Amino acid sequence: MKVLPLYNVLVLPHSNIFFQTQAFRAMAGNNIYQGDEVTILVLRDQQTREEMTAESFYPIGVEGVVEEISTDGYVVVQTAARVDVHQVLVNENHEIFVETTKRADIMDMDPAEAHMKLAKIKEGLREMVSRFRFGDMMRTYIDQYSSIEEAASVLSSWFTLTNEERYSLLQEDSTKKRFERLERIIYEYSEVAKVTSDAQSAQQEDYQKAYKEQALRKQIDYLQNELDEMHPEQVSDARKYERKIEESGMNEEAKREATKVLNRVKNDGANSAESGMLYDYLDFVTGLSWKKEAPETINLGEAQQILDEDHFGMKKVKERIIQQIAVMNLRKSQAGSILVFVGAPGTGKTSIGKSIAKALHRKYVRVSLGGVRDEADIRGHRRTYIGAMPGRIMDGIAKAGVSNPVMVLDEIDKLSSSFNGDPASALLEVLDPEQNNSFTDHYMNVPYDLSDVFFVCTANTLDTIPSPLLNRMEVIEFQGYTPSEKLEIAKRHLFPKALKNVGLAEGDVALTDDVLDTIISDYTREGGVRGLKKRLDTLCRIAAVKYIQEEETAASVPANAETTAAAEKHPVIQVTRENLRDFLDMHALPHNKVKASAQPGVVTGLAWTQVGGEILYIESLFTKGSGKTIITGQLGDVMKESSAIAQALVQSRFPEQAELFEKNDLHIHVPDGSTPKDGPSAGITMTTAIASLVTGIPVPPNIAMTGEVSLEGVVSAIGGLPEKLMAAERAGVQKVFIPKENIDDLRDVAAEVRDRLEIIPVESIEEVLTALGILKHK
CA 112, distance to chain mean position in Å, is: 83
Q: What is the dihedral of CA 495, 500, 501, 502, to 10 degrees?
A: 100
Which amino acid, one-letter code, is at 187? Answer: Y
Give dist(CA 498, CA 484) in Å, integer.
Answer: 20
- Which residues, in sequence order, are bridge partners of residue 632? 669
Give dist(CA 524, CA 51) in Å, integer.
Answer: 105
Cα dihedral 428, 430, 436, 440 sign: positive
Pick the catalytic residue: 724, 735, 764, 776? 724
Name the DSSP class of 657: G
- Which 3-state string (H, E, C) describes 668-681? EECCCCCCCECCCC
Q: How many alpha carbons fall within 13 Å on the CB side of residue 34?
A: 9
Contacts of 73 (CB under 8 A, 6+ apart): 20, 21, 22
Which amino acid, one-letter code, is at 507? Answer: G
Name the DSSP class of 492: I
* The pairing of beta strand 602-609 with beta strand 703-705: parallel
Coil vs helix vs strand at 383: coil
- CA-wise closest residue to 406 among 249, 298, 285: 298
Pick the catalytic residue: 15, 153, 642, 681? 681
**Phi, psi dihedral angles at 464 (to 5 degrees):** -95, 0
Give dist(CA 543, CA 582) in Å, integer.
Answer: 10
Which residues of 487-601 form beta strands (DSSP E)? 509-511, 573-575
Identify the helix (H) or strand (E) that includes residue 165. Answer: helix 163-171
Give dist(CA 13, CA 60) in Å, integer.
Answer: 11
**Phi, psi dihedral angles at 123 (to 5 degrees):** -65, -45
Coil vs helix vs strand at 139: helix
Give dist(CA 56, CA 58) in Å, integer.
Answer: 7
For 116: left if phi > 0, alpha if psi spans -120 to 50, otherwise beta; the answer is alpha
Cα dihedral 189, 194, 199, 205 sign: positive
DSSP string computed for 194-251:
HHHHHHHHHHHHHHHHHHHHHHHHHHHHHHHHHHHHH-GGG--HHHHHHHHHHHH---
Which residues of 576-671 form beta strands (DSSP E)? 602-609, 612-624, 629-632, 664-669
Which amino acid, one-letter code, is at 321? Answer: I
Contacts of 386 (CB under 8 A, 6+ apart): none
- CA-wise closest residue to 694 among 641, 656, 732, 724: 656
Cα dihedral 129, 133, 137, 138 sign: negative
CB 312 within 8 A of CB 446: no
Give dist(CA 114, CA 177) in Å, integer.
Answer: 12
Is 681 catalytic? The answer is yes
Contacts of 217 (CB under 8 A, 6+ apart): none
Residues annotated as catalytic are: 681, 724
